[in-house]
Copies of this chain bind each other. A is one copy, B any other.
């Protein structure tokens, strides 16, 4: 222990023996270093909000998929399953893609939170996929919602009878899943607005 302390002491002493020219450089350097912390707080704040929103997106996409996939209900040997309707199959596919995408981007934005230097470039690429996914997830919500609504209320004009008074548990699952995916759409909306806000903030600076 004593020997390691005697080894470290000369190194510490060396660091303080900076030539005068280098010392002047160090004095001249501060302006950009002072500016960087002033710039960082809003970026860090936005990056933190982004990580939280992306995690929320992942959680809601996962919940929506799990809830609709586990909605099978059998009454008098006649089962009701999500894959009986192409609308629900599209819904599961869209939200699975959203879930997988959100895992990747959560990791990326968490990394960007730790190293804020590479942030703007990552941001402007993510926002493109965010916008595309917003379209896909909202369309999926609309699709599943429309089929669920016909199941709940029926349509007397064309003779489509309601099924939710029989398959109550199935319908409850579908309804919950649609609401969770509506939440996912809103999270995606906020993610896009957050990116636009960050970009326009940098533009006005």
Contacts and interface: CB of A to CB of B under 8 A. Distances in A.
A141 B138 CA distance: 9
Contacts of A159: 161
Interface stretch (A26-34, A65-73, A83-91, A96-104): A83-91
Interface string A139-177: 111111111011101010111110100000000000000
A120 B200 contact: yes
A185 B146 contact: no
Interface residues of A, number: 47
Contact of A196 (B141, B155, B157, B196): B196
A114 interface: no
Q: Is the interface of A mostly helix, strand, loop or mixed?
A: helix
24 contacts: A80-B157, A80-B158, A84-B155, A87-B149, A124-B203, A128-B196, A131-B189, A131-B192, A131-B193, A132-B189, A134-B134, A135-B135, A135-B189, A138-B138, A138-B139, A139-B139, A158-B161, A192-B192, A195-B196, A196-B196, A196-B199, A199-B199, A199-B200, A199-B203
Given A128-B196, A139-B141, 7 more contacts: A85-B155, A85-B157, A87-B149, A135-B135, A150-B160, A151-B158, A160-B160
